[in-house]
Structure 1
Amino acid sequence: MFMNFRRIRKCQCVQLLTTGLVLCVMMVCWDEVDHHIVRHVRSYMYRYLINNYDFVNSSLVINPSHGHNKDGSDSVDGGFVNYPYLINHPGKCGGRDGKNWDDVLLLLFVKSSPENFERRQAIRDTWGNESFVSSELGVSVRLVFAIGIHADAEQRSRVQKALLQENQVYRDLIQQNFVDTFHNLTNKLILQFHWKHAYCPQAHFLMSADDDMFVHMPNLVKYLQHLLSSETGAKDLWVGHVYRGAPPNRCKHSKYHVPYDLYPWTSYPDYTAGAGYVVSGDVAAKIYRATQLLNSSIYIDDVFMGICAKAMGVSPQEHAYFSGGAKTQYHPCIYNHMITSHGHATDVRSLWQAVTDSASYRNSRGFMGNLYCKAVRVMLLCIPYFQNTYSCIAAFT
């Protein structure tokens, strides 16, 4: 039996070329591989197996001696900044005389950019419509939009004039004097909790949402009323789409990049997707206190929320039908159960029409309807591509 040395050399050559090609691809794509696999595994293990450090230590606590400038104004040196209001509605929840607060079930705070008038109007006309919620659902909801000033200095005056006109009509804009950019989202988070503390402390719940969110208000109200009627009541609640053991993004080209000197640890505290979550009144009060104590230089608002909650001993709770950052395709078998859905900049009105149309629920009624919808939800939700919308658990709830 003879061995073909020429064939062996050919196979070895192919193996070497293949190995070299794989190594080249890994070198080129290492940042992506490291970010999506290695860092997540390392972060998750560190957060839940070792867990040997505090996520909130002295480096994140504001030094009281640096809290104010000599003239008495709030310092901007890495700590809490109390920006002045440019537009405000102190009487939105009643209590103008310090008494007689309205019984508000839910304070809806929508984070919006100054130029997004169409998105705000669509929300006013649909899921944020206070009159609809009052007449059809029998509860009191207050809707306000959190905004800063336009980022473009040349357009700022024109946009501000339009905002003042919009506010005269709808009286639901809350604006502070900071530039409205991605890196100032934490300022909007602080605005929400400070405004609630000052002007709507009696609200049972606070919801924070982006202006491209769709909220199934009947489902949300039903869920919140159930919580209030439970034996424990609505306490210690922070509910949404939870991210656990997530690592900081160290890729410099990403808008989510967080350098080591800003956040040196391997893992973030657990937090909910900032696109839409709900907290109970007592948790809102705790977060308010935390924002006064912690350094707000972390510009990713949902991460800062997680840091504040960690400091106050609050943990997020997963709800199967609070969506993550991605958008799932529309199907009544999913949207009839959902509470929030992200990525709806243009189709809010059509979704609302489907929600308020009782005929859209017919396919999900009865044994066969339930069986059909369960199969649809499994096909649409239990595949990796949609894991950032609703979890697979939602298919079985």
Structure 2
Amino acid sequence: MELKLILLLDLIYIYIDISKTESNNSVSTTTTETPIQNPYEPKDRIVNPHNFSYLLNPGYTVCNTSSSSSSSSVYILVYVHSGPTNYQRRIVIRETWATQTLFPELRLVFMIGKTLDKTIMKAIEYENEIYQDIVQEDFIDAYKNLTYKGIMALKWVSIYCSQAKYILKVDDDIVTNTFTLTKHLKFLDKLDPNRQQTLLCLVWHAMIVMRDSKSKWYLSKEEFPLEKFPPYCSGSAYIFTGDMAAKMYNASLYVPFFWVDDYYITGAVASAANVTYTQFGSLYTISEQVAHTRFLSSKSFYTIMFGHFPGSMNHMREIWRRILIREKFKYPTIVKSHSFSWDETIHPQSNNLL
């Protein structure tokens, strides 16, 4: 039954990719508030209520919070910002660096908004029947609604996986060396076992606000009066301690809506929640070409944790194979049991579709 559903999903998403209409691509407006003028204005009342409803919600099953067994231990919860049609990217993540069979203390969920295309919505339902790892709310999934997606994630984590020690947010075009990530966090735990209120990321300082009206990142002075942003994180990947999910969600209710999600979530909201920033920048590579080179180089392999691969899912699989090859000497039993089975068994046709 599961295999039939997977193959059906493949066919649906191929159909969607071929028959996508111009009208479906043009949905890009926000569904409630428009960007406000001053994200710093102090408020003593709720100004940004997150009044959306779940369309899909795996609830407590992801983190096993209703269970008293040892399997309920969650060291890292990964939530991925994903687009409705990015099915193949979600498959790659599930079967490579975020697989629970390889990392039993890790849990994975995908954050998705809705689309007006009923075929895509039905495909997402089928996908969730198989994996039970999709959180979807009823706002339109669009670039200027990414802030809603970020708030949705904070709210969901604070309710359904509040016991996680660390939360990792990534985009669906990121490859993570989960071995390095886990080892690094365990090392930090030795230095401070009770670490809280911490955000670990590539911290941007004094980033210039884009005033070019032709840019997708354009902000008018009415939207954002300052010429430089206060500190915030690269949105490609960031980690925060488990206690911050509820604090940041609660803070978001009182920080006026702002459509630049990276700054809003990791800057304005995080600051309002009194977060402490920890620079993680040396472990990031934003350029796909440079990330590919660093992951494949024996000299730089252990200095990269996150790589950005927007262009090729084959590259994402290739990088993960290389990671497993290098790590099998440290974790021979675990890596051997995982093998490279994702291509040959579940998705023998995947490489031809990517």
Superposition TM-score tier, normalisation by shorter sequence: 0.7 to 0.9
- Using the alignment, how far apart are the partners of 1:320 and 1:266 within structure 2? 23
From 56, 61, 79, give the equivalent of 1:87.
Answer: 56
Query: So what's the TM-score if we normalise by structure 1?
Result: 0.67
Describe the SS at the equivalent of 2:153.
helix
Deviations 1:360-387 (A, max 9, x none): 999xxxxxxxxxxxxxxxxxxxxxxxxx
From 255, 271, 279, give the equivalent of 1:318.
Answer: 279
- Using the alignment, how far apart are the partners of 1:311 and 1:359 within structure 2? 40
Deviations 1:258-290 (A, max 9, x none): 222221122212011001010011222321221
Which residue number in structure 1 is paired with residue 41 of structure 2?
57
What is the correspondence of 1:182-221 to structure 2 with a 5 Å cutoff?
Answer: 182-221=143-182
**Cα separation, partners in 2 of 1:187 and 1:100, compared to 1, 3 Å:** farther
Q: 1:147 is aligned with what amino acid? A: I
Which residue number in structure 2 is paired with residue 143 of structure 1?
108
Describe the SS at the equivalent of 1:130.
coil
Describe the SS at the equivalent of 2:78.
strand
**Cα separation, partners in 2 of 1:84 and 1:116, compared to 1, 3 Å:** same
Describe the SS at the equivalent of 1:355.
helix
Q: 1:301 is aligned with what amino acid? A: D
- Using the alignment, how far apart are the partners of 2:276 and 2:225 within structure 1? 22
Which residue number in structure 1 is paired with residue 263 of structure 2?
303
Query: So what's the TM-score if we normalise by structure 2?
Result: 0.74
Contact 1:145/1:173 (CA < 8 Å) preserved in 2?
yes
Which residue number in structure 2 is paired with residue 348 of structure 1?
316
* CA displacement at 1:338 relative to structure 2: 1.3
What is the correspondence of 1:126-137 to structure 2 with a 5 Å cutoff?
Answer: 126-134=96-104
TM superposition outliers: structure 1 runs of 4+ over 4 Å: 97-101, 359-362
- Using the alignment, how far apart are the partners of 2:90 and 2:195 within structure 1? 29
Q: 2:96 is aligned with what amino acid? A: T
* CA displacement at 1:233 relative to structure 2: 2.9
Provide the alpha-carbon RMSD of the alignment: 2.5
Describe the SS at the equivalent of 1:145.
strand
- Using the alignment, how far apart are the partners of 2:153 and 2:223 within structure 1? 24
- Using the alignment, how far apart are the partners of 1:81 and 1:283 within structure 2? 18
Deviations 1:29-62 (A, max 9, x none): xxxxxxxxxxxxxxxxxxxxxxxxx97223xx47
- Using the alignment, how far apart are the partners of 1:127 and 1:105 within structure 2? 15
Q: Is 1:277 paired with 2:238?
A: yes
- Using the alignment, how far apart are the partners of 1:285 and 1:227 within structure 2? 22
Which residue number in structure 2 is paired with residue 50 of structure 1?
none
Deviations 1:107-153 (A, max 9, x none): 1000000100110000011001111112xxxxx11100000112xx3
- Using the alignment, how far apart are the partners of 1:115 and 1:335 within structure 2? 31
- Using the alignment, how far apart are the partners of 1:148 and 1:62 within structure 2? 29
From 91, 109, 112, give the equivalent of 2:79.
Answer: 109
Contact 2:204/2:233 (CA < 8 Å) preserved in 1?
yes
What is the correspondence of 1:209-288 to structure 2 with a 5 Å cutoff?
Answer: 209-231=170-192, 233-288=194-249
- Using the alignment, how far apart are the partners of 1:99 and 1:360 within structure 2? 29
What is the correspondence of 1:148-163 to structure 2 with a 5 Å cutoff?
Answer: 148-150=113-115, 153=116, 156-163=117-124
Aligned residue-pair number: 284
Q: Is 1:335 paired with 2:296?
A: no
Structure 2 gap ranges (5+): 1-37, 331-354
Describe the SS at the equivalent of 1:224.
helix
From 66, 73, 88, give the equivalent of 1:118.
Answer: 88
**Cα separation, partners in 2 of 1:359 and 1:201, compared to 1, 3 Å:** closer
Q: 1:337 is aligned with what amino acid? A: T
- Using the alignment, how far apart are the partners of 1:286 and 1:99 within structure 2? 27
Deviations 1:201-240 (A, max 9, x none): 0000111100000000000011111222323532232111
Contact 1:95/1:101 (CA < 8 Å) preserved in 2?
no
Describe the SS at the equivalent of 1:175.
strand
Describe the SS at the equivalent of 2:221.
coil
* CA displacement at 1:339 relative to structure 2: 1.2
Contact 1:205/1:280 (CA < 8 Å) preserved in 2?
yes
Which residue number in structure 1 is paired with residue 342 of structure 2?
none
- Using the alignment, how far apart are the partners of 1:56 and 1:98 within structure 2? 42
Deviations 1:275-306 (A, max 9, x none): 1010011222321221121112x111111020
Describe the SS at the equivalent of 1:240.
strand
Q: 2:150 is aligned with what amino acid? A: L
Contact 1:277/1:322 (CA < 8 Å) preserved in 2?
no
Contact 1:322/1:339 (CA < 8 Å) preserved in 2?
yes
